[in-house]
C-alpha cells in the first residue's frame, strides 16, 4: 500500500540574505577633508521564514535592526541587497499595481498611531479614505464596512465621528488596527505596537490582536522589546543582533532553553515576577557595537563570555540546533551549561 506523505508547509514570507545600508550625511569638516560618507549597516544578511497564520516575535536591543527589518517587509524601505519573497514571489522592487496589491496584503501598524492619524479627519473619514482609495467597497457598502471595522476592534458606534485627540492611547491604537484591517490584509507587521501604552491597556490591545488573528487567520510579525509580552503572543521568536538573526525557534523552547549566548543574556537581563527565579545565564554586559563598524567574525564575540579564537575570525551560520536554529559555533555546548 502506498503511503501518502504530506508536503511541508511553504512560508508565507521568506527573507533571504537581506541587507540594508544607510549613508550618513557628511558633516562640514568631513566635506572639507573629503572624507567618504559613513555607512550604517542596519541589516546584515537576514534569513527568516514566516509561516501563514503564525505570530512571529522579533526581539533584540534597541539599534539591532528590528524596526528596519519590519519596514523593509512592509515596503517602506527598499533593501540594499537580498530578497523578500511573498507567497513565493519576489516583492523587492515592485512598482505600480503590483506594489499596491502587496501593500494591501501586508499592512504595518506603528508604535504611536496619533502621529500617523490625520488630526483634521474623523475616524469615519480616515477609514472611508482607505476603503475608497483602494476600492475595497463602493457606495453604501463603505459605511457598512466602517461599522464592521469599529465593531471588530471594539470601539463604540459614536467613535466614527470623533477626532484622534478625543481618544486615549489604547483607543487610538485600535483605530490604527481598524485602518490596517480596512484593506483586508493577510499579514500585519506590528512595530512596538503597545510599548507606549500602560500595562493594563497593553493587555487589552494584545488580546484583541490575538482574537483578530484567530478569527481572520492573520499572520503577525510582532516586533517588541518586552520579552514577557513576546512570549505570551508568539508561536515562534526570532532574536536579532546587529542586523542578523542569531536564533529562531518555537517560543516556549527558546524561552526555556535558549541556544545562543545573546538570547541567554537577554533573558537573564529581563525582569522576572518570580522571586524564586534564579537564572544561571550571565546578564548582558557591554554596549552594542556601532553599526558603522561591525566586529569581524561573530559580531557578538566582543560581549560573549564564551568567545574563542574561532569566533573572532569566522562568522557562524544560522543552523539547526535543538527545536530551532542558532548562529553560534558552540551552541550545543553553551546551551547545556
- The CATH number of residue 113's host domain is 3.40.50.300
* Widest Cα–Cα separation across the chain: 79
Task: Give all strands (DSSP E) within 1-154, no chain letters.
Answer: 13-23, 39-50, 55-59, 81-86, 89-90, 106-109
Instruction: Say how far apart CA 52 and CA 10 lie, in whole Å.
Output: 8
DSSP conformation class of 162: S
Predicted local distance difference test score (pLDDT) of residue 89: 95
> Residue 36, exposed/middle/buried by CB under 10 A (0-12, 13-18, 19+)?
exposed
Domain that holds residue 271: 13-335
Predicted local distance difference test score (pLDDT) of residue 1: 43
Residue 292 domain-assigned?
A: yes
CA-to-CA dists, residue 222 to 194, 206, 218, 219, angstroms: 10, 10, 12, 10
DSSP alpha helix (H) spans, 136-286? 140-152, 169-181, 199-216, 227-233, 251-256, 261-269
Predicted local distance difference test score (pLDDT) of residue 273: 52
Residue 313 domain-assigned?
A: yes
Predicted local distance difference test score (pLDDT) of residue 277: 55
Report the DSSP beta bridge partners of residue 202.
none
To the nearest 5 percent, what fractions of the chain are helix, strand and coil?
Answer: 35, 20, 45
Residue 320 domain-assigned?
A: yes
One digit per residue, the tens of pLDDT, for the chain of length 337 reads 444 555 668 899 999 999 999 887 777 776 677 777 778 899 999 999 999 999 999 999 988 999 999 999 999 999 999 999 999 999 998 999 999 999 999 999 988 767 878 899 999 999 999 999 989 999 999 999 999 999 999 998 789 999 999 999 899 999 999 999 999 999 999 999 988 788 888 889 999 999 999 999 999 999 998 888 999 999 999 999 999 999 999 999 999 999 999 999 999 887 665 555 554 545 566 778 888 889 999 999 999 999 999 999 999 999 999 999 999 999 988 765 4
Predicted local distance difference test score (pLDDT) of residue 112: 76
Instruction: Say how far apart CA 183 and CA 189 lie, in whole Å.
Output: 14
Instruction: Say how far apart CA 245 and CA 241 lie, in whole Å.
Output: 6
Model-level pTM greater than 0.85?
yes
Kindly state the cell numbers that stand for 146: 466602517
Residue 104 domain-assigned?
A: yes
Nearest partner of 223 among 250, 259, 195, 258, judged by Cα: 195
The answer to whether the CB of 104 falls within 8 A of the CB of 134 is yes
Number of domains observed in the structure of the chain: 1
Nearest partner of 288 among 315, 249, 262, judged by Cα: 262
Instruction: Say how far apart CA 241 and CA 61 lie, in whole Å.
Output: 7
Residue 137 domain-assigned?
A: yes
Residue 217 domain-assigned?
A: yes
Kindly state the cell numbers that stand for 233: 503572543
Predicted local distance difference test score (pLDDT) of residue 180: 95
Residue 3 domain-assigned?
A: no
What backbone torsions phi and psi does residue 169 show, to the nearest 5 degrees? -60, -45
Residue 7 domain-assigned?
A: no
The two beta strands, 219-223 and 39-50, are unpaired
> Residue 261, exposed/middle/buried by CB under 10 A (0-12, 13-18, 19+)?
buried
Amino acid at each position: 500500500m502506498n503511503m501518502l506523505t504530506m508536503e511541508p508547509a511553504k512560508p508565507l514570507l521568506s527573507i533571504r540574505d537581506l541587507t540594508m545600508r544607510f549613508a550618513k550625511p557628511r558633516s562640514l569638516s568631513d566635506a572639507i577633508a573629503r572624507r567618504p560618507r559613513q555607512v550604517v549597516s542596519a541589516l546584515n544578511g537576514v534569513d527568516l521564514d514566516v509561516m501563514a497564520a503564525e505570530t512571529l516575535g522579533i526581539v533584540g536591543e534597541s539599534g539591532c535592526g528590528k524596526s528596519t527589518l519590519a519596514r523593509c517587509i512592509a515596503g517602506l524601505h527598499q533593501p540594499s541587497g537580498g530578497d523578500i519573497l511573498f507567497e513565493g514571489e519576489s516583492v523587492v522592487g515592485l512598482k505600480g499595481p503590483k506594489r499596491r496589491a502587496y501593500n494591501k496584503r501586508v499592512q504595518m501598524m506603528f508604535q504611536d498611531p496619533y502621529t500617523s492619524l490625520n488630526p483634521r479627519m474623523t475616524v469615519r473619514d480616515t477609514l472611508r479614505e482607505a476603503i475608497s482609495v483602494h476600492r475595497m467597497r463602493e457606495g453604501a457598502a463603505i459605511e457598512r464596512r466602517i461599522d464592521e471595522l469599529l465593531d471588530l476592534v471594539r470601539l463604540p458606534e459614536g467613535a466614527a465621528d470623533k477626532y484622534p485627540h478625543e481618544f486615549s492611547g489604547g483607543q487610538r491604537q485600535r483605530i490604527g488596527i481598524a485602518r490596517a484591517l480596512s484593506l483586508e490584509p493577510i499579514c500585519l507587521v506590528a512595530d512596538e505596537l503597545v510599548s507606549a501604552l500602560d500595562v493594563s491597556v497593553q493587555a487589552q490591545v494584545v488580546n484583541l490582536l490575538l482574537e483578530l488573528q484567530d478569527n481572520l487567520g492573520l499572520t503577525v510579525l510582532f516586533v517588541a522589546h518586552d520579552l514577557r509580552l513576546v512570549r505570551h503572543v508568539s508561536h515562534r521568536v526570532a532574536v536579532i543582533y546587529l542586523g542578523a538573526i542569531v536564533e529562531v525557534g518555537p517560543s516556549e523552547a527558546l524561552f526555556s532553553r535558549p541556544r545562543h549566548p545573546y538570547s541567554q543574556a537577554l533573558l537573564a537581563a529581563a525582569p522576572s515576577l518570580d522571586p524564586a527565579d534564579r537564572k544561571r545565564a550571565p546578564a548582558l554586559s557591554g554596549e552594542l557595537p556601532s553599526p558603522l563598524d561591525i566586529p569581524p567574525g561573530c559580531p557578538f564575540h566582543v560581549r560573549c563570555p564564551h568567545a574563542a579564537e574561532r569566533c573572532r575570525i569566522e562568522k557562524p551560520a544560522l543552523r539547526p540546533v535543538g527545536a530551532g536554529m542558532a548562529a553560534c559555533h558552540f551552541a550545543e555546548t553553551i546551551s547545556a551549561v
